Structures are given as C-alpha cells and as structure tokens.
Amino acid sequence: MTELNYHHLRYFWTIAHERHLTRAAQRLHVSPSALSIQLRQLEDRLGHALFDRRGRALELTEAGRIALQHADAIFAAGAELVSTLKGRPEGASPSLPPLRVGSVATLSRNFQLQWLRPLLARCDLKVTLHSGTPRELLAQLGAHQLDVVLANDAVPRDRAAGWHSTLIAQQPVSLISAKPRGRRRAFVFPDDLQGADLLLPGGQGAVRAAFDRLIQAAGIVPRVLAEVDDMAMLRLLARETGALALVPPVVVADELKSGLLVERCSIPQLVESFHAITVGRRFPHPLLADVLEGKLAPKRPG
C-alpha cells in the first residue's frame, strides 16, 4: 500500500486555498521552488496532476478537487481532535468550536432564521452556514465537515452511514396569494382550485406528494403555472403573478404582515416538517444536543 505523506498534503492544502504558489510559500515559510518540489512529489505519489497551471494562478483539476475535499476533512478532524482532547489549565473556560450548519438550498430562509436566532445570540459561539443539495451536504456531514444538516425531509436511518434525523419543527401549509380585488366569499378547498392558477413546490417533497393525492382524490384539475424548488422564488412569484401558492405561512411571513400577500386557505391535512440530520460521532459538538432539543439559551457578554 502506498502511504500518504501528510506533510506534502498540508503543503497541497495550503496551495489549494491560496490558489497561488508564492503566497502559499510565504505562508508556509518555505521557498516557492521547494514547495513546487513537494507538490510534485505528492502528485507523483497520487498518480494525478492536482493543478492546472495558468500563468501564476493555479486551478484545481478534478483530482485536485477530490484531494482538497479529503484534505479539508482530514485537517478539520485534526483541529477538532486538538480542541476536544487537549488539556486546559484548571478553571479555564473551554472554547467552543464553531457550529457548522448545512442547510438544503430549498429550505425556507425565514425558518432558518428562526432556528438560528438562539445560536446567533450567544457571545461564545460562532456559526458557519453552508447551503447545498442534500447529497452534497450529507457527504460533508459524513466527512465531519458539518455538525448538522437542516432539511425538509428525513433521511432513512442507516446504521452503516450513521445518519439520524430529528424532527425539530412542523409548520402548517396554506394557499397564499395577493389580495383579491373586491369582496369575495371564503375560499373553499379543494373545490375553488378547479381551473385556478397555481404555484407549487417541486415534485420530490412530502408536502407536494400529499397535496397531489388530495386534489386527485377530489377530481380537481388546477392550472399549474410553475413548479419551484426555491422557496424564495416561490415567494416572489406569488407576489408578482397573483396566482395561488402552496407554502407554509412562515415562508411569506413578512408579506403576510405587510398585506402584500394574504392567506386564502389553510390546509389542515398538510404540514411541512423540518429535520435536523446528524451522524454518529464520538465527540459531537458540545452544544449540539441542546440545539436539537431546543434548550439552547442565549449567552451574553459579562
């Protein structure tokens, strides 16, 4: 088995983040020529070029991006190891590592803000927030690059992968639109959807699937103007088109408060679930359990 030289990997990792050989050399206190030799030795060991040289700039190759993903995980785990296990003087306050939160790109920004408020109120905690697809975020969670992932859907419990989903909130789902002109009778669901212009979330989520079953069972055929995964875009389209949008009211809380949009009908059969996905770790973030149980209290200076 070919062993990896972690000294060379550290050099590569620094170059990759600097994207410039001379700047990386200055940061590492070595000469650019010596650093170039170390990088070449790592490339020879891995059997792949890690950078495309474009003048003085360096661009990661496909192999380089894969190597950087692993290097990030390796050095993050090393920093966490030192932070978790190193001895501290008696009476010293342990410093909290950053809480690294991943959020599925389609998740409501308003819900994220509500969930993050008690974290952001603490003077002793730094939060980093990353957005991406479920697949990307779960890969980062498995590589210990994230502490928790926020998502609309739970993931199946997997003993091999160690995934675990915690239900952290549920929100009602409603039909929302711009305020209709003139006086109108109360909206009747699902009858008034027949032929109505409709904006729907994408077809992969549990809410959309449950909604489709409801209207199909009632024999209702609305006119679907758009299917939108991004809640921010769905919110904008509801304001601009006048069509009915299927969303949790939390998504459009500001517009409902200002009167730009109104709730036409709550659908009690539908709820949007929000899950926190974690992976089994021997040394989880010290505050993670309290965060998931909603017990995190603000901590102010002094």
Provide the pLDDT for residue 183: 60
Provide the pLDDT for residue 300: 54
Q: Please check the confidence at residue 89 and state whether its pLDDT lies above 80.
A: no
Specify if 298 maps to a domain: no
Same domain, yes or no: 147 and 288: yes
Specify if 141 maps to a domain: yes
Let me know: does 102 contact 146? Beta carbons within 8 Å: yes
Number of domains in the chain: 3
Q: Please check the confidence at residue 273 and state whether its pLDDT lies above 50.
A: yes
Same domain, yes or no: 186 and 252: yes
The mean pLDDT of 89-103, rounded to a whole number, is: 69
List the domain range (segments joined by +) for residue 230: 171-269
Same domain, yes or no: 213 and 142: no
Same domain, yes or no: 223 and 283: no
CA–CA distances in Å: residue 142 to residues 160, 163, 287: 11, 8, 19
Specify if 61 maps to a domain: yes
Tokens standing for 97? 């590592």
Mean pLDDT rounded to a whole number for the chain: 84
Same domain, yes or no: 106 and 161: yes
Provide the pLDDT for residue 284: 82
Specify if 300 maps to a domain: no
- Segment 174-191, tens digit of pLDDT: 999 988 876 667 889 999
Same domain, yes or no: 208 and 260: yes
What are the residues facing 195 on neighbouring strands? none
Q: What is the dihedral of CA 126, 249, 107, 129, to 10 degrees?
A: -10
- Segment 112-158, tens digit of pLDDT: 888 888 888 888 888 999 998 888 998 888 878 899 999 988 887 66
Q: Please check the confidence at residue 85 and state whether its pLDDT lies above 80.
A: no
Specify if 162 maps to a domain: yes
Specify if 94 maps to a domain: no
The residue ranking higher by pLDDT, 96 or 117, is 117
20 pLDDT band (50/70/90 cuts)?
confident
Query: For residue 239, which of 225, 224, 256, 214 has the smallest C-alpha distance?
Result: 256
Which CATH number belongs to the domain containing residue 45 in this structure? 1.10.10.10
The residue ranking higher by pLDDT, 180 or 259, is 259
Query: For residue 278, which of 197, 164, 129, 172 has the smallest C-alpha distance?
Result: 164
Same domain, yes or no: 186 and 213: yes
Specify if 183 maps to a domain: yes
- Phi and psi dihedrals of 289, rounded to 5? -60, -45
Same domain, yes or no: 263 and 175: yes
Let me know: does 179 contact 250? Beta carbons within 8 Å: no
Q: What's the angle, vertex CA 103, arms to CA 99 and CA 109, rounded to 5?
A: 110
Amino acid symbol at 170: Q
% of the chain beyond a pLDDT of 90: 26
Which CATH number belongs to the domain containing residue 208 in this structure? 3.40.190.290
Same domain, yes or no: 154 and 186: no
Annotate 46-97 with DSSP letters as a single string.
HTS--EEEETTEEEE-HHHHHHHHHHHHHHHHHHHHHHHHS---TTPPPPPP
The residue ranking higher by pLDDT, 272 or 75, is 272
- Segment 220-241, tens digit of pLDDT: 999 999 998 888 888 889 988 8
Number of Cβ atoms within 10 Å of the Cβ of 118 = 17
Provide the pLDDT for residue 227: 92
Dihedral class, residue 195 (left if φ above 0, else alpha if ψ from -120 to 50, else beta):
left
Same domain, yes or no: 140 and 175: no
Same domain, yes or no: 126 and 246: no
Give the C-alpha separation, 38 to 60, whole Å: 16
Provide the pLDDT for residue 3: 77
Provide the pLDDT for residue 299: 59
Same domain, yes or no: 66 and 113: no
198 pLDDT band (50/70/90 cuts)?
very high
Specify if 164 maps to a domain: yes
Which CATH number belongs to the domain containing residue 123 in this structure? 3.40.190.10
What are the residues facing 178 on neighbouring strands? 261
Q: Of 85, 118, 151, which residue constitutes the final position of a domain? A: 85
The mean pLDDT of 147-176, rounded to a whole number, is: 85
Give the C-alpha separation, 84 to 282, whole Å: 11
